[in-house]
Structures are given as C-alpha cells and as structure tokens.
Amino acid sequence: MRIRKHPSALVFLALLAVFTLAMTLMSEAYGSGVVPTSTIKTLGKTLCLALAAVAMDLVWGYAGILSLGHMAFFALGGYMIGMWLMYARTGEIVAATLANSPIPPTTEELRQGITGQIFGVVGSADLPLTWAFAGSLPMQLLLVLAVPGLLAFLFGWLAFRSRVNGVYLSILTQAMTLALSLWLFQNDNGFRGNNGLSGLQNMPGLTDVPQSMISIWFLWASALLLAGGYLLAAWLTAGKFGSVIRAIRDDQTRVPFLGYSVEGYKLTVFTISATICAAAGALYYPQAGIINPAELAPIASIYLAVWVAIGGRGRLYGAVIGAVVVSLLSSWFTGGRAPALDLGFYRIEWVNWWQVLLGFGFVAVTLFAPRGLSSIIDVIADLRPPRRRGADLGPDISALREKEAEA
C-alpha cells in the first residue's frame, strides 16, 4: 500500500475510529446513554450503506460502469445471512417448546417444527432446497459472498463479452435487479415471498444480551468492515490496476491496443464490487431486522448512484460522504422529526417533500459542484486549482483548457 499516495485513507480510518469510539462512549450499553439504541442502529446501517457506496464508486467512479442494480447484491447478501439468522433462531424457539414434551424430539421433528414456523406463512410444509445450508453459519457466510459474486460474474461475463456499454448496460442492470425482486416476491420460491425474512435483529444464542449491546457490536463490525472495504478499494485503485481501470473509463477503445482485455478488467471490478456490496448487506439487514423483495427494487440502486454522484465520484471518501449525508438526512426528514415548514398558504410536511428536496439537491450539486460534496474537502485541504482566468493549462492550444480540466 502506498499510503504516501493516499493520505486520505489514513485520515478516513482515523475519523472512523474516533466516530465509533465516541458513539460507544455515548451509548446506552457502554457509556453515558446520550445516544439511544435506535440511533446507534441507524448509524451502524449508515456505515454499511457507505460501504455499498464505496463499492458503487469502484465500478462507476473508477471503471465507468454505471451499474443501476448494485443493491441486488447488497440485498442478496442480506438474504443469505438472514436465512441462517431466521433458521437458527426459530430452531431455538422450537427446541424450547418441544423440550416440555415427554419424549425428546428427534432431529427430523425439530427440522419439521422449524419449517412449519418459517414457511407456514406461505403455506408450505417442506424446507426448500435453497435452505439446505441454512443451519450452518459458516456455509451461509460463504454464500453471502459466493451467491452475489457468482451472479455478478455471470451477468458481467454475458454483458461485457457482448460489449454492452453505457446506457444499455445500466438498463440491463436495472432489469436484473427488477427480475430478481419479482422472482423473490413469489411465495413458492423458498424466500417467503413478500413477507421476506424477519426477526433478524434477534441473534441466535444471544437471547439474554440486550439490543443496546448488540447494536454496539454491530456498529463496531460495520465500522471494521467499512475500514477493510475502504482499504481494499484504495489498494485496487492505487497502483497499475487502478491506472488501467481509469484508462478503460476514459477511453475504452484505446485500451485493447495496449494489450489489456477491457472485458476481463470490467468483469473483475464488477465482481469484486458486487461481493463488497454483499458483505455490506450481510451486516446491514441484521441491524434493520427485516428484509423483503422490495429492497431489490430498482429505485434502491438508483439512490446508491445518487449518493455517489452527490458525494463525488472517482474518489472513495466522496462516496462515503454522499452515502452518509444523504441517508442520514433522508432518515431525519422521513422519520417525522424534521419540523414542518409553514408557508401560510401551505404547510410543507417533509415526509412528503423530502424527495423533491433531494431531487433539487441532486440538480444543484450536478450544476454547481460537479465533483460533489467532497469538493468541500478540496477547499479545506487547499487542493483547488489556481485561478487561471481561462488561460490554457499547457504550453499550446491543444492542451486542456481550464474548463475541460475542471469537468
């Protein structure tokens, strides 16, 4: 790792550590109790969303692939961990009930009890094949990465090999997440249809531990995962690999003549990014407590792209800033805590008007700060380009003009 080239990674890690420690010291379980458990959960979830945004920045900001289906990988990761959480937790409840019966229950009876509890709601009595490993945490953890990774690999292989680019690829990714969501909505596919998986906040084996403590553990896990994902992304984008993917973003017809396979690189970045997203999802949904197919709706992935655009794509901390600022503002406005604005003739209730505000914010950022909110950091760090008053950057007229360089 060339930290020298990436001082931002160190600053980011330090800020993240300070934030997590501060929250712990203000929590109900380990500190003064100023910050309620529900806020700790929101913050933990926000860190997971920030990691998803980093993954999005990797494919979009660095490799130029505008994927509008990335939340499918996020949700799939959640589904994979949710299956184990639900199966193991239901298993505990069923075992406790059957323990009162005169004859100790057999494994088969236990299994049937769990199946009845989980799938009774969709009128099924058999455990679907997809739940074959649901009883094993290591297997489901493996699937958290393997299932979205494999899906991304197959999807990317088909799309990039056929040289699907630009808008067409974005539409295809939207179609992918929509199709997956519709498929999950069906009751007989073994994922409980629109009920989704619920009760995920209850950790198996930790019934006696209060949520206030669990929420802090998850906050730490989310912070660690975000730190790891950030470092991985920084490493990927730092060296020659980063150079090649940025070259693909800027001129993908030229890169093959240097001997690099554009399809191979796009596929690698897309798959790595999907698995990062899936890992983030696997930590997000236990904090959210519930997952259902609506989480895969195309709009979720569009929001992800909006966060990255608002934060500033092509720089990792930009993605984090965008995700954190927009999703926290979003939960503040939609949570009903934002004071309504009384105009006299009309009362603006933010729950209804937040999306309009977000839309205006998006347009404003695109117009006035094309590099996103992270350009504030440029001002602080004095990275702003000198004012040249329209003069050329280079020695003659074919060099980049000031306007081009800013874009």
Partner 1 sequence: MTALLEVSGVSKSFDGFRAINDLSFNIGAKELRAVIGPNGAGKTTFMDIVTGKTRPDKGRVLWGERSVSLLKLNEAQIARAGIGRKFQRPTVFEDQTVAENLTMALKAPRGPFAVLCWKPSRASETRVAELAGEVSLADRLTHKAGELSHGQKQWLEIGMLLAQEPRLLLVDEPAAGMTLAERGQTTTLLRRLAETRAVVVVEHDMDFVRRLNCKVTVLHQGAVLAEGSLDHVSANPDVIDVYLGR
Contact residues for partner 1, defined by CB under 8 A: 236, 239-241, 243-244, 246-247, 250-251, 254-262, 264-265, 268, 393-396, 398-400, 404-405
CB of 397 to partner 1, least distance (A): 8
d(CA 142, CA 136): 10
Q: Which residues lie below 8 Å from residue 214, measured CB to CB, with a gap of 6+?
A: 201, 203, 206
**Which of residues 154 and 171 has its CB atom nearest to partner 1 in the complex?**
154
**Which of residues 188 and 250 has its CB atom nearest to partner 1 in the complex?**
250
d(CA 344, CA 318): 38
281: tokens are 């999802």
Cα-based angle 379, 382, 383 (whole degrees, multiple of 5): 90
Phi, psi (deg, nearest 5) at residue 378: -60, -40
Q: Which residues lie below 8 Å from residue 228, measured CB to CB, with a gap of 6+?
A: none
CB of 195 to partner 1, least distance (A): 41
CB of 321 to partner 1, least distance (A): 21
CB of 258 to partner 1, least distance (A): 6
d(CA 154, CA 149): 9
Burial of 195: CB neighbours in 10 Å, binned 0-12, 13-18, 19+:
middle
**Which of residues 197 and 244 has its CB atom nearest to partner 1 in the complex?**
244
CB of 235 to partner 1, least distance (A): 8
**Which of residues 58 and 68 has its CB atom nearest to partner 1 in the complex?**
58
CB of 237 to partner 1, least distance (A): 11
**Which of residues 188 and 406 has its CB atom nearest to partner 1 in the complex?**
406
**Which of residues 210 and 254 has its CB atom nearest to partner 1 in the complex?**
254
d(CA 201, CA 268): 33
